[in-house]
Amino acid sequence: MSTAATNKAAFSRIHDAVNSGDLEVISKTIDEVVMPDMLFHAPVPMGTTGQQALKQVWAVLLRAFPDIHVAVEDVIAEGDKVVFRNTVTGTHQGEYRGMPPTGKSVAYNEIFIVRFADGRIAEIWGVVDVFAQLRQLGAIPT
């Protein structure tokens, strides 16, 4: 199997885990697929790094949107990188960014570039449409 195919398969494992809705499955998969000191460049301010940062992102998202679903729209793999474009949907049922649950549904887009090293995720760059997410939750006027 080519490096690009191996990296796409590793990405697929993460995608399957996050759509399980089970934080324990997600954390275990992150431990297996993500380097402990992974560099994370995304619009998610926090005081953690590496695997812990990614685990914290999913803990926050699952608490806020227990039915969250990530639909992969496009995947492009070349060399040591995989690029994917997603549509994320969910219902706001828990605290999120200081907002109490609204019961509102959200649908927003994101694009990630993931760099692999030795078959594991070493670095992630993410662009998430947080504006659309917050607008749909009523935190930003339409």
Choose between 46 and 27: higher pLDDT.
Answer: 27
**Domain map of the chain by residue range?**
3-136
This prediction's pTM: 0.91
Measured CA to CA, the distance from residue 79 to residue 28 in angstroms comes to 26
d(CA 55, CA 44) in angstroms, rounded, equals 12
Per-residue pLDDT tens for 31-43? Answer: 999 999 999 887 6
Please state, as a whole number, how many other Cβ atoms lie within 10 Å of the Cβ of residue 74: 9
Report percent pLDDT > 70 for the chain. Answer: 97
HSE-up of residue 87 (Cα within 13 Å, Cβ side): 6
Q: What is the pLDDT of residues 68-116, one digit of tens each?
A: 999 999 999 999 999 999 999 999 999 998 999 999 999 999 999 999 9
* Architecture in CATH for domain 3-136: Roll (3.10)
The predicted pLDDT at position 43 comes to 66
Instruction: Compute φ and ψ for 94, nearest 5 degrees.
Output: -145, 165
How many separate helices (H) and strands (E) can be counted in the chain? Answer: 4, 5
